[in-house]
Amino acid sequence: MKQSSAASKRIPTGGGPGLVHNPFAALTSEGLPSTPGGAGVPASRFVASSNEPKPAKKNRGRVDILRVKAGRGGKTVTVVKNFTGIGLPEKEQLARAMQRACGTGGTVKDGQIEIQGDKREEVARILTEANFRPVFAGG
């Protein structure tokens, strides 16, 4: 039988010789410092000491979390209010974190953070991580 032209164009898959060129084969660790910071920096500087006191979480105050429907065309909105001691940039940063976590929109209005939908649990988790004391208020 004659072999067709397709049979002669086949690529052999029998394994053959492996890859022989390894660009990293010639590298060595000779001459490199043994510590992360260099030869002159002690390694103990980079190891966390267990006897160092951890900074205590500072309670940043109580914030109220409300679920509001009134005056919003029947839509539910989660409102966070009664922030003390933080400015508008930090409120906007918290609002962005809440929007990402909840997967919804939101805004900062009149010193309050408004998140679309009933997302009180997610908002409370983010506020707790930011060292606030969230309290569910209202209905």
Q: What is the pLDDT of residues 4-60, one digit of tens each?
A: 666 678 777 776 666 567 777 788 878 877 766 555 555 555 555 566 566 666 788
Residue 24: inside a domain: no
Residue 121: inside a domain: yes
For tokens 């988790």, what's the residue? Answer: 125
What range defines the domain where residue 69 resides? 62-136
CATH code (residue 93): 3.30.780.10
Residue 20: inside a domain: no
Give the model's confidence band at 84: pLDDT under 50 very low, under 70 low, under 90 confident, else very high. Answer: confident
Q: Helices (H) and strands (E) in the chain — how many of each?
A: 3, 5
Residue 10: inside a domain: no
- Sheet containing strand 62-68, edge to edge, reads 106-109, 112-116, 77-81, 62-68, 133-136
CA–CA distance from 104 to each of 9, 75, 86, 97 (Å)? Answer: 57, 13, 23, 11
pLDDT for 115-128, tens place per residue?
Answer: 999 999 999 999 99
Number of domains forming the structure of the chain: 1
The reported pLDDT for the residue numbered 54 is 60
Q: How far apart are CA 101 and CA 97, in angstroms?
A: 6
Q: Report the predicted TM-score, pTM, of the whole model to 2 decimal places.
A: 0.58
Residue 82: inside a domain: yes
